[in-house]
């Protein structure tokens, strides 16, 4: 069966003169924020109306809470997050020496639970992992993204770049076909943005909740009728890392609000 979305995509690509596939020049990069209507922008800008801030507050409470058989809170080791976590999320995914691969901020938090709190991992997209990562990432609001700078990450950034350029799914489209070649066009009424990862985890009105960058990428994959990678899969982490390196220098917005 052909869905409305497939028709919309076919129309979009048929009516768009194929631009040269290519990366966006550094000074032409724009956050998804700049594509949104005034109401959604206002919601993101005002902390008292931004629903993501409720998760940040929950995350702050969890930061202070003793957990696991170690009976330690995040704060017992990391102190005041305002200083200890400042700028940290802007360089995630980061290389983990023991695992010899990049880990996302969510995975890092779960590594702390396992290695330093003796507590079980929080499930992907659960309220508590989103709240903790929103709280940690919020300490980087305004900080310039530097993820991918570590030379050890080079092969993983390359892997992510390759995945971004690769056509996939029944619609045979690559991420780059929409987010590099056709941003500023509309798809079934909504604007296509550059797919910049500056605001995660973020509150999406369609989800009615906070969600991770992985959740967003999985829904883009489902959108082109491709099999989405599992949460935490190395491919998804590599894509996330490439997106962050592609956004190098752009300011973090967590928690952003998107339609
Ligand atoms: C017993 C001490 C301890 C506790 C408790 C702890 N951590 Fe950590 N954390 C560490 C250490 C040590 C590191 C450095 C990496 C490593 O050795 O695991 C770290 C690293 C991190 C990092 C990465 C920092 C960076 O610069 O890359 C984040 C983020 C983090 N912890 C968050 C948390 C959160 C959130 C909690 C609570 C859920 C927590 N940690 C609990 C000791 C702790
Ligand atoms: C058919 C077009 C299309 C394809 C192909 C596509 N996306 Fe998207 N993507 C969208 C639309 C539409 C949205 C929602 C509006 C927006 O933020 O662009 C979106 C949103 C996003 C966002 C959220 C941006 C923000 O501001 O929060 C990211 C990141 C993203 N896509 C990455 C990807 C990646 C990575 C791939 C490849 C695995 C991909 N997309 C494939 C159309 C597409």
Across 166-204, b (16+ Cβ under 10 Å) vs e yields eeebebebbbbbbbbbbbeeeeeeeebbbbbbbbbbbbb
Active site residues: 220
- Mean pLDDT computed over 148-165: 98
Distance in angstroms (rounded) separating the CA atoms of residues 51 and 131 = 12
What domains lie within the chain, and their CATH numbers?
4-16+27-46+153-258 (1.10.760.10), 57-138 (1.10.760.10)
Supply the pLDDT for residue 190. Answer: 87
Is the link from the previous residue into 93 a cis peptide, with omega within 30 of 0?
Answer: yes
Per-residue pLDDT at 1: 40
CB distance 187 to ligand 2 below 6 Å = yes
Task: Give yes or no for residue 57 having a pLDDT over 50.
Answer: yes
- pLDDT more than 70, % of the chain: 92
pLDDT in tens, 77-107: 999 999 999 999 999 999 999 999 999 999 9
Q: What is the mean pLDDT of residues 162-175?
A: 96
Q: Which atom of ligand 1 approaches the CA of 72 most closely?
A: 5
- Ligand that lies nearest to the alpha carbon of residue 74, given by its number in the listed order: 1
How many A from CA of 169 to the centre of ligand 2?
14
Pocket test for ligand 1, best of 58, 77, 140 (most atoms within 8 A of CB): 77
Atom of ligand 1 nearest to the CA of 117: 5
Of 116, 114, 100, nearest in space to 155 by CA: 100
User: What is the pLDDT averaged over residues 2-20?
Assistant: 58
- Residue 136 in contact with ligand 1 by CB distance below 6 A: yes
The stretch 16-39 carries a mean pLDDT of: 83
Contacts 24+ apart (CB under 8 A), 166-171: 168/221, 168/224, 168/226, 169/221, 169/224, 169/225, 169/226, 169/227, 170/6, 170/224, 170/225, 170/226, 171/6, 171/9, 171/224, 171/225
């Amino acid at each position: 069966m052909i869905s409305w979305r497939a028709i919309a995509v076919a129309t979009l690509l048929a009516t768009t003169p194929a631009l040269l596939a290519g990366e966006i020049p550094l000074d032409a990069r724009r956050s998804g924020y700049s594509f949104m209507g005034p109401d959604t922008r206002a919601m993101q800008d005002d902390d008292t109306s931004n629903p993501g801030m409720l998760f940040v507050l929950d995350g702050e409470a969890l930061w202070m809470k003793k957990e696991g058989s170690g009976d330690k809170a995040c704060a017992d080791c990391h102190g005041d997050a305002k200083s200890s976590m400042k700028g940290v999320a802007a360089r995630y995914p980061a290389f983990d020496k023991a695992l010899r691969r990049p880990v996302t901020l969510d995975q890092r938090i779960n590594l702390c639970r396992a290695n330093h709190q003796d507590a079980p991992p929080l499930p992907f997209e659960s309220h508590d992992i989103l709240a903790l990562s929103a709280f940690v990432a919020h300490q980087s609001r305004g900080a310039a993204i530097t993820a991918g700078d570590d030379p050890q990450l080079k092969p993983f950034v390359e892997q992510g770049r390759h995945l971004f350029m690769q056509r996939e799914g029944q619609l045979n489209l690559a991420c780059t076909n929409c987010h590099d070649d056709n941003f500023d066009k509309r798809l079934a009424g909504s604007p296509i943005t550059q797919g910049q990862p500056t605001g995660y985890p973020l509150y999406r009105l369609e989800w009615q909740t906070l969600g991770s960058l992985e959740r967003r990428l999985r829904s883009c994959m489902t959108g082109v009728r491709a099999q989405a990678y599992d949460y935490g899969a190395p491919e998804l982490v590599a894509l996330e890392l490439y997106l962050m390196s592609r956004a190098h220098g752009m300011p973090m917005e967590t928690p952003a609000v998107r339609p």
